[in-house]
Amino acid sequence: MIVRNAWYVAGWAHELSTTPLARRICNDPIVLFRTEEGEVVAMLDACSHRGAPLSRGAVVKCGIRCNYHGLVFNKEGVCVDIPGQDNIPRKARLRVYPLHEKDNMVWIWMGDAEKADPADILDYPIHNDPVNWPTRYEMAPAKSGYLLLVDNLLDATHLAYVHPDSVGGTSPDVHFKAEMDVQRTKDGVRSERTMKNSPAPPAYTNCVPFTGPVDRWQEFDFIAPAVVLQYSGAVLAGESRKTSQQQRFDMRLFHALTPETDTTSFYFWSASNGHAKNDMSATDLIVEEITKAIVEDKAMVEAQQERLSELGEDWLVDNRSDGVRLLMRQAVERMAKEAQEA
Amino acid sequence: MIVRNAWYVAGWAHELSTTPLARRICNDPIVLFRTEEGEVVAMLDACSHRGAPLSRGAVVKCGIRCNYHGLVFNKEGVCVDIPGQDNIPRKARLRVYPLHEKDNMVWIWMGDAEKADPADILDYPIHNDPVNWPTRYEMAPAKSGYLLLVDNLLDATHLAYVHPDSVGGTSPDVHFKAEMDVQRTKDGVRSERTMKNSPAPPAYTNCVPFTGPVDRWQEFDFIAPAVVLQYSGAVLAGESRKTSQQQRFDMRLFHALTPETDTTSFYFWSASNGHAKNDMSATDLIVEEITKAIVEDKAMVEAQQERLSELGEDWLVDNRSDGVRLLMRQAVERMAKEAQEA
Amino acid sequence: MIVRNAWYVAGWAHELSTTPLARRICNDPIVLFRTEEGEVVAMLDACSHRGAPLSRGAVVKCGIRCNYHGLVFNKEGVCVDIPGQDNIPRKARLRVYPLHEKDNMVWIWMGDAEKADPADILDYPIHNDPVNWPTRYEMAPAKSGYLLLVDNLLDATHLAYVHPDSVGGTSPDVHFKAEMDVQRTKDGVRSERTMKNSPAPPAYTNCVPFTGPVDRWQEFDFIAPAVVLQYSGAVLAGESRKTSQQQRFDMRLFHALTPETDTTSFYFWSASNGHAKNDMSATDLIVEEITKAIVEDKAMVEAQQERLSELGEDWLVDNRSDGVRLLMRQAVERMAKEAQEA
């Protein structure tokens, strides 16, 4: 289920430039670019003349030029130049999609333009604080629907099975017995998991040389329809999470799962380093470890998508650990319903 | 036409182990494995929780564990463990398919489980007689429906066209003028072909250094829906097939054509060596020659499948040499009808 | 829209030989070959016995033999030999398609055979005049419908956008301001473009060392449904196109766009050299330059086809420069209508 009246991450801010970028979002073929003034634009990626993709074109003074017969469309999608003729038919215009640049990301609204309010976009100030939170920005295309990837993030009981050698560690019990605090939020659901006195998983010890078991926390904030903010970390068991600075693992992950089609997605994620802010190699290490985990997740979720595409979902039986995931799904359904009623 | 109430070869016995094997059979995605006690199991390859393939999981003490969230299913397909919760919903169970291990093969029943009777599975004692019949086991995936491969086996007039350099030889007449003895059998059809005083084809002379023309025989036993037992051989022309041991070519081929989908198959075949039982390299030579022939058959039959998928079969015109093939098709149709009536 | 009652180029004459050639035309799988007497034949590429492609077979004395079971079909598509049996069923025959060899090309008629009149095939004597018009013959498969390729040829305003470094040059105005003379013809439309005192594009200067601006001409003769005859050239500005022989670029291009399927085509083209007839390397140079242009065209048109397959064409808005293209489309539609009425 794709909700169109919603903001999705269309790209990292640095991905948009005066070189047009073709990206399919919510099944629509879109060209993303920056005007010469630096403004971001999203437009249907098909010229109104003969359908050629504008992403094969070029950004020019007044907008983007189709490189088939030279038509130019401004940032409102209106054709402003048809070489070789003076009058421009009013129908020569293309759908533009509301875009908003914020926190190093470009957000797109795929539904009714008049309902698009940038004030509804979540805040993620960490992306604007490179001094305290050195950050790297990544993207992985995924052959699964976006909700399966959100499911994956919100049911952490998969960690010891899918990620024994990276972020999970080998003990399922650590995850099943985690203290859980779950709350609905205005836009989704928030869960806090605490795993006291537990072995640090390989991804953590590869980043920080823990000398013993740790107290570990994972916070997941789901904001419908497609973002998960994750705050994970660990300190030596018994130390204070708030104050201890020795042997501290501390990262923020931003996950945005943007539908490409009904069964494929873009997995945008950033990793911000809270424990060694003066050491960029520490951020690189986090990225290396999280990349492993995302490769592992994708392998499982893409295989799951194949089965669900074939067999449907009606026959499936939920677990107790699906609670957070189901609250997430409810939030998305509520959002879809509201969009229809409005 | 796929008959589901029937036994098919799902794999060679040695293919099933405690490492799960994913194989689609009669369009169903299936996971095949052995329990720690060595029992063979076939189960729908999709966890009842979230649809993840169990073939990405692991065999554990009580069955197979999904490596997404750790659910365990026993060999009856019943979920026996959901980590993190005590009660297990009754709906948490997966279809299991009757399996039976016999003669180094694992047979699967894709239809109504209550009709599955292992006593209906054919006997092939040669697979249990490695001293007298040294044997090698092979499998080739084929991009054609299984019946086109059975057709191919039962109309030997293709040999000089498809296999001039391997099992056929260059003279079509040798095959068209073969003495034929055809009989319906309880489960299919049996044909015996005799080619007296004929040139030995390359596949034979590569195995046995014949010094002159041969008397050659080929026996094909089709057992519906999907097995052909072949006994082929040759002795020097005029020698006795029963007793002559000099310049003797003598092999048994077991062919099992298992539907993967409507238009793809698994071609399981074994080759057993009757003329040089103490020489494993003689068996290897047979396999080398038969492999050539199967590559040649597949190229033709896969091209045929493409045409039939596009053009249908209604417009085709049978030949006289289709007799055996048509009796085979009748046997399969009879079987399908009986399955419906019962 | 594919018109079947029409002649299409099925291949260059030299492509057809006693080695069968498989080629799909207007969605039909066809085998093309020459009899031992040199006559060209086009037949459904599927044996009437079991559907195997005849293109995997061999040309024999009386026609073409299927290499599955040896059936032979004569050049009328009638089965004349079924090895191993005397009577041949009347139904054992295959559709043959009218073929006509002319001007180094083999033309095929995909519709009602009784309406096929070779007198309707256009004349292209240049292919028969290698002394005055040394020629090379090429073919490029294209992932677009044939009409999009004809569109492309008939709207030359794309040249400066798609081909700045080859046949277009970098000035769009040269093309938009070209003098145009457009006339409907009996079978299509003819346009003449003249660009006086303009820079020679790279493709021209790579062939002829022009020392200044040129007077340039391009003539396009569209003959429905799928041929464009092009005559392009240039002389130094102010020189006479008719008589000047110094610094003269002069080529004839034959374009035949043959539908393979609704959305794929064969782009047959020949290039004939009129300015350096005694220098085969001059012809090679032309081919090199035109090949660049066709690679550029294909990239754009194949991308366009993807969009049109997804979005349809109803929403598109024509340009003034579409005039020739639209007359072309009208001619094809008229042809389709006549074929229906007749």
The 10s digit of each residue's pLDDT in C192-206 is: 999 999 999 999 999
SS3 A320: helix
Where does residue C123 rank: exposed (0-12), middle (13-18), buried (19+ CB within 10 A)?
A: exposed
Rounded Cα gap, residues B108 and B128, in angstroms = 20
CA-nearest of A294, A265, A23 to A148 is: A265
Structure tokens, A186 = 């205005």
In tens, the pLDDT along C221-247 reads: 999 999 999 999 999 999 999 889 889
Q: Is the dihedral of CA A237, A243, A249, A250 positive or negative?
A: positive
Q: Give me the mean pLDDT over the B83-111 stretch.
A: 97
Q: Which chain B residues are closer than 8 Å to C82 by Cβ?
A: 319-320
Looking at chain C, the whole-number percentage of residues with pLDDT higher than 70 is 100
Rounded Cα gap, residues A306 and B56, in angstroms = 13
In tens, the pLDDT along C30-51 reads: 999 999 999 999 999 999 999 9
Q: Give me the mean pLDDT over the B207-224 stretch.
A: 96
Gyration radius (Cα) of chain A, Å: 22
Q: Measure CB to CB from residue B70 to each of A161, A299, A307 and give the nearest one.
A: A161
Going by pLDDT thresholds of 50, 70 and 90, the confidence category of residue B340 is confident
List the beta bridge partners of residue A179. A194
pLDDT score of A342: 66
For C178, the closest chain A residue by CA position comes to A84
List strand residue ranges (DSSP E) for chain A, in order. Answer: 7-12, 21-25, 28-34, 40-44, 58-60, 63-65, 72-73, 79-81, 99-102, 105-109, 135-142, 179-184, 188-198, 214-223, 227-236, 249-261, 264-273
Greatest CA separation for chain B: 77
In tens, the pLDDT along C76-110 reads: 999 999 999 999 999 999 999 999 999 999 999 99
Q: Measure CB to CB from residue B29 to each of A300, A304, A310 and give the nearest one.
A: A310
pLDDT score of B90: 96
Rounded Cα gap, residues A269 and B154, in angstroms = 58
In tens, the pLDDT along C248-303 reads: 999 999 999 999 999 999 999 999 999 998 999 999 999 999 999 999 999 999 99
Residue ranges of alpha helices (H) inside chain B are: 146-154, 159-162, 172-176, 202-207, 280-311, 323-341
CA-nearest of A71, A78, A70 to A41 is: A78
Going by pLDDT thresholds of 50, 70 and 90, the confidence category of residue B124 is very high
In tens, the pLDDT along A48-94 reads: 999 999 999 999 999 999 999 999 999 999 999 999 999 999 999 99
Q: Which chain B residues are closer than 8 Å to A303 by Cβ?
A: 52-53, 56
Rounded Cα gap, residues C169 and C214, in angstroms = 12
CA-nearest of A231, A229, A233 to A250 is: A233
Tell me which DSSP letter residue B336 carries: H
Going by pLDDT thresholds of 50, 70 and 90, the confidence category of residue C342 is low
Q: What is the DSSP string of A161-223?
A: HH-TTTTS-S-HHHHHT-EEEEEE-SSEEEEEEEEEEEPPPHHHHHHS---S-EEEEEEEEEE
Q: What is the DSSP string of B280-326?
A: HHHHHHHHHHHHHHHHHHHHHHHHHHHHHHHH-STT----GGGHHHH
A133 touches A273 (CB < 8 A): yes
The shares of helix, strand and coil residues in chain A, as percent rounded to the nearest 5, are 30, 35, 40
Instruction: Give the side-chain half-sphere CA count within 13 A for B223.
Output: 16
Task: List, as ranges, residues 172-201 from B with C-beta within 8 Å of C.
Answer: 172-173, 176-177
- Which amino acid would we find at residue C115? K
* Average pLDDT over all residues of chain B: 96
**Residue C191 confidence (pLDDT) above 90:** yes
Q: Give me the mean pLDDT over the A123-131 stretch.
A: 97
Structure tokens, B78 = 């019943």
Query: What's the pTM?
Result: 0.95
**Residue B342 confidence (pLDDT) above 70:** no
Q: Give me the mean pLDDT over the B320-333 stretch.
A: 95
In tens, the pLDDT along B234-286 reads: 999 999 998 898 899 999 999 999 999 999 999 999 999 999 989 999 999 99
Q: Which of A141-155, B170-184, C247-261 has the lowest mean pLDDT?
A: B170-184
Query: Chain B within 8 Å of C69 (Cβ-Cβ)?
Result: yes
Query: Chain A within 8 Å of B207 (Cβ-Cβ)?
Result: no
**Angle subtended by helix axes A146-154 and A323-341, to nearest 10:** 140
CA A162 to chain centre: 20
Q: Which chain B residues are closer than 8 Å to A158 by Cβ?
A: 68-70
pLDDT score of B339: 82
CB contact (8 A) between residue A303 and residue B89 = no
CB contact (8 A) between residue B315 and residue C48 = yes
Q: Which chain C residues are closer than 8 Å to A45 by Cβ?
A: 307
What is the ipTM for the molecules in this complex?
0.95
For A318, the closest chain B residue by CA position comes to B49
The shares of helix, strand and coil residues in chain B, as percent rounded to the nearest 5, are 30, 35, 40
Going by pLDDT thresholds of 50, 70 and 90, the confidence category of residue B336 is very high
**Residue B56 confidence (pLDDT) above 80:** yes
For C22, the closest chain B residue by CA position comes to B303
Report angle CA C25, C28, C29 to the nearest 5 degrees: 90
